[in-house]
Structure 1
Amino acid sequence: MPSSYPVAQIRDAERQALAEGRRLMPLAGAAAARFVAERIQPGTAVLALAGPGNNGGDALVAATLLRAMGHDARVLLPAGAQGLPADAARAHAGWTAAGGATLSALEPGFVPGLVIDGLFGIGLNRPLGADWQALVDTVNGWGVPVLALDVPSGVDADTGEALGRPIRARWTLSFIARARGLDLPGSGADAIGESHVDTLGVAMPAAGGEA
């Protein structure tokens, strides 16, 4: 199994790649879209949960690509597009330009066939707020397959501890490297599902924080 790393090390590798002119969000979104497309039938409704950071941008890129493939992709952006980081804002603009509609709340009676969890990724270090927790609880109640990007929302990426009631993923797709918390027996361990990694072509130090 590949090494896992502290969040700070993954962030350093990400910053270095961006400083070298690498555009990581399109690569991450494409990796997520490929992962989903290999596991769903045409016509399956996919709901991308896009949070207020770059994890949400990854989900937006994935939704845009899935829509272009002919899938029924939808985006829920609970915090709205204002305040998105630059790359995520570009991803949102791409989604809108492709004709995608952005939902601010769940549609009554709508249950997708698969959910992409792009709410928080490795950036969450405090318990889920009440509104976010309610959303996660609803998604968990659906019982549909969930692909979490980087880490399931509600899991501390460094410790593996649950920060509330995490989203329960069938698969977790980590970008660049797997966060250390995914390999630790924390209270969020049951939320991770199958762990997959796409390095996006970014090299990590061989010595990493392997668990």
Structure 2
Amino acid sequence: MSGRLPLFDNAALRSAETRAATRLGDNFVLMQRAGLAAWHCVLAHWPQAQRLVVVCGPGNNGGDGHVLARHAREAGRPVRVLRLPGHEPRGDVAIRAEREYREAGGGIGTFAGALGEADVVVDALFGIGLKRAPDGGAAALVSAINDAALPVLALDAPSGVDADSGCVLGVAVRAMRTLQFLGAHAGLATGQALEHVGARELATLGIDDDILPPGEAIAEALDARALAGFLRPRGRNSHKGESGRVLCVGGDHGKGGAVLLCAGAALRTGAGLVDVATRAAHVPALLARRPEAMAHAMESARELAGLHAAADVVAVGPGLGQDAWGSELFAALVDGDAPLVIDADALNLLAAAPRTLRVDTVLTPHPGEAARLLSTSTVDVQGDRRAAAAALCERYGCVVVLKGAGTVVAAPGRRPRIIDAGNPGMAVGGMGDVLTGVIAALRAQGLDAFDAACCGALLHGAAGDAAARDGGERGLLPSDLFAPLRRLANP
């Protein structure tokens, strides 16, 4: 498996659905396949479940639910369909699906505040058809699904989640698993949506791949299997110079640990040489903790010139601070010839004086830093993370790694990639410093800026997952990633 999955917006998926129905000669055939795939999903993941509640809306998503309910009934499972008042099916195929369910002996109830007893709940309420927050009875029904604390299978998208942006405007179903049809939704791979989708699964419904041409994808998801496509074994006669020289700049007074983590990550990811320019007070500790790094006391930008000239890549920002020392060093680097990876305080200095950067610069903001770079709010950034990453690319003219759940990597003229790796245990100070070192090391080893950013974010997330498997998410430290970084960087 390649570890790469094309992601589509709702418009492309609706067009594909129309083409698929035309190819099959009957819209209802496609709905039958979707409902059957959903029933097989229930059997695969909850084989012991006897009692099903299927919550159906008035559209085709509800039609898929009725088909699933018919299969469950025909298999001898007690199943109840619930819907809201006024949610009678609309459209020929949805009406037909309900009729066939009734003809199989199924009954339909009206939601009156509770779901009743069930082993599994199927959310076939809205799918991708809702572009606003559920309100009134719909909001009450979604809340009842969540309050029931039962396993939930969402069809196409959890109701209340915008499948294009991943935004959750109000209450939304929290599913244990989401079954997508024909193609994967870009919005379900990042941000707020990840709190609601659970495990994601794709049913292509027996339709050939050409129904969704790769050129229509608006993004691509990468998981850990994709690492092998970026990283190649080294030649037997390799030497350290071929693996690149990284200069890490940062560590103002009291912040020496940040640049130490950055340097350690660069070394563990395979950089041949790593220099560290930091405050004199941090040099002894850095040499004691990471003797492989070449530590240099740096009190002014004048002392930086030689190191800067020798570097293949500069990682600037971890622990840099925003006072005179950090500002002077950043100003000296931003106009230089060496490619930059910019993080942390260097991003805040950039936000204070925005400018177009070299196209091979890599910015690595978290949502708060992204909001400052865009002069907007964190809420706006998180409301549409792909759009925020694109806006950063446009404003600064370079590669952007928008960190967070479902990290988004974007670059001018390139299709964005969304990282399907990482876990909540990585939400701790210092993780971003490690990522900066990882990306800088990959850039120094010859990857272009966009691929270094993509591979680096993926490698970082996969290392975090490996470390969490060893000891759990809570209490995970940035330095815990060093051992799995080395292992995963050698596929």
Query: Which TM-score tier does this pair reach, normalised by the shorter chain?
Result: over 0.9
Which residue pairs with 2:213 in the alignment?
Answer: 205
* Superposed CA offset, 1:1-49 (max 9, x none): 4211010000111111112215210000000001112233556210001
**DSSP 3-state at the match of 2:41:** helix
Which residue pairs with 1:9 in the alignment?
Answer: 12
For 1:43 and 1:200, how far apart are their aligned partners in 2? 24
Which residue pairs with 1:47 in the alignment?
Answer: 53
Deviation at 1:111, TM superposition (A): 2.5
1:90-129 correspondence runs (5 A): 90-106=96-112, 110-129=116-135
Which of 106-115 and 55-64 deviates more? Answer: 106-115
Give the alignment's Cα RMSD to 1 decimal.
1.7
Which residue pairs with 1:193 in the alignment?
Answer: 198
After TM superposition, where is structure 1 displaced by more than 6 Å over at least 4 residues in a row? none
**DSSP 3-state at the match of 1:27:** helix
For 2:165 and 2:132, how far apart are their aligned partners in 1? 12
For 1:193 and 1:18, how far apart are their aligned partners in 2? 29
Change (3 A) 1:116 1:82: closer
Higher RCO structure, 1 or 2 (CA under 8 Å, sep 6+): 1
Give, as a single letter, the amino acid of the residue that structure 2 aligns with 1:15: T
> Is this contact kept in 1: 2:84–2:137, CA < 8 A?
no
Deviation at 1:107, TM superposition (A): 7.7
For 2:180 and 2:84, how far apart are their aligned partners in 1? 23
Unaligned runs of 5+ in 1: none
Unaligned runs of 5+ in 2: 220-417, 419-491
Deviation at 1:112, TM superposition (A): 1.1
For 1:99 and 1:31, how far apart are their aligned partners in 2? 21
For 1:69 and 1:99, how far apart are their aligned partners in 2? 12
For 1:144 and 1:4, how far apart are their aligned partners in 2? 29
For 2:214 and 2:157, how far apart are their aligned partners in 1? 22
Give, as a single letter, the amino acid of the residue that structure 2 aligns with 1:25: M
Give, as a single letter, the amino acid of the residue that structure 2 aligns with 1:198: A
> Is this contact kept in 2: 1:76–1:106, CA < 8 A?
no
* Superposed CA offset, 1:56-75 (max 9, x none): 00000001001111111110
Which of 105-114 and 60-69 deviates more? Answer: 105-114
For 2:168 and 2:12, how far apart are their aligned partners in 1? 21
Higher helix share: 2
Deviation at 1:77, TM superposition (A): 2.1
**DSSP 3-state at the match of 2:137:** helix
Deviation at 1:92, TM superposition (A): 0.3
**DSSP 3-state at the match of 2:128:** helix
> Is this contact kept in 1: 2:55–2:65, CA < 8 A?
yes
2:187 to 181, 193, 207: 181
**DSSP 3-state at the match of 1:117:** strand
Which residue pairs with 2:21 in the alignment?
Answer: 18
For 1:47 and 1:124, how far apart are their aligned partners in 2? 21
Which of 11-20 and 42-51 deviates more? Answer: 42-51
1:172 to 156, 175, 178: 178
> Is this contact kept in 2: 1:51–1:78, CA < 8 A?
yes
Q: How many residues align?
A: 210
For 1:109 and 1:6, how far apart are their aligned partners in 2? 32
1:126-141 correspondence runs (5 A): 126-141=132-147
For 2:172 and 2:115, how far apart are their aligned partners in 1? 23
> Is this contact kept in 2: 1:43–1:72, CA < 8 A?
no
